[in-house]
Amino acid sequence: MRQSSVQMAILEVLAGEGDSHLSALEIYERLKARLPAIAPSTVYRALERLTQQGRVSVSDMGRGVTLYERVGQPLHHHLVCTRCGRIVTIDHTQVGPFFAAIEAAHDFHIQTNHLILFGLCAACRSQHADATT
């Protein structure tokens, strides 16, 4: 199996997932149906190359595994609930002004293109409040 064909297949899988992020195992499982001879190690090596080439980004969303996303998706960011795991996607238009203010205040160029903030969603805060009353 050629490296380039595996890389293209990975990019297609990631493009088909919209703005969700997949682990290497999830990518492997989706590819296995199309490419039965593929090995997990092949997927890991291809993901490493794609990351080094800047075609795939890596995230830690608190799930205990590295998650991958295709670069070129519309810029977005996430709020992740540490209790229930709910993920809320927020548009870059909400975060961009914050990045610009930090850059201006500190004469610094931010290269991060994916902000992930951890906290508690409204439902979990409500459940916690109910449990303490």
pLDDT at 114: 81
pLDDT at 19: 55
pLDDT at 75: 83
Residues 6+ apart with CB under 8 A from 95: 77, 115
Percent of the chain with pLDDT over 90: 57
- Which has more confidence, 130 or 76? 76
And the tokens for 98? 């914050």
pLDDT at 123 over 90: yes
- Angle, vertex CA 61, rays to CA 71 and CA 102, nearest 5: 70
pLDDT at 108: 96
CB-facing half-sphere around the CA of 93: CA atoms within 13 A: 0
Full 3-state SS string of 18-84: CCCCEEHHHHHHHHHHHCCCCCHHHHHHHHHHHHHCCCEEEEECCCCCEEEEEECECCEEEEEECCC
- Per-residue pLDDT of 4-22, as tens digits, reads 789 999 999 998 866 568 9
The arithmetic mean of pLDDT across residues 26-44, rounded, is: 93
pLDDT at 2: 60
pLDDT at 18: 61
Is 24 within 8 Å of 43 (Cβ atoms)?
A: yes
- Per-residue pLDDT of 56-96, as tens digits, reads 988 888 888 999 988 876 788 899 999 998 889 899 999 99
Q: What is the pairing mode between strands 76-81 and 87-91?
A: antiparallel
Mean pLDDT of the chain: 88
Rounded to a whole number, what is the distance in angstroms from the first to the last CA of the chain? Answer: 60
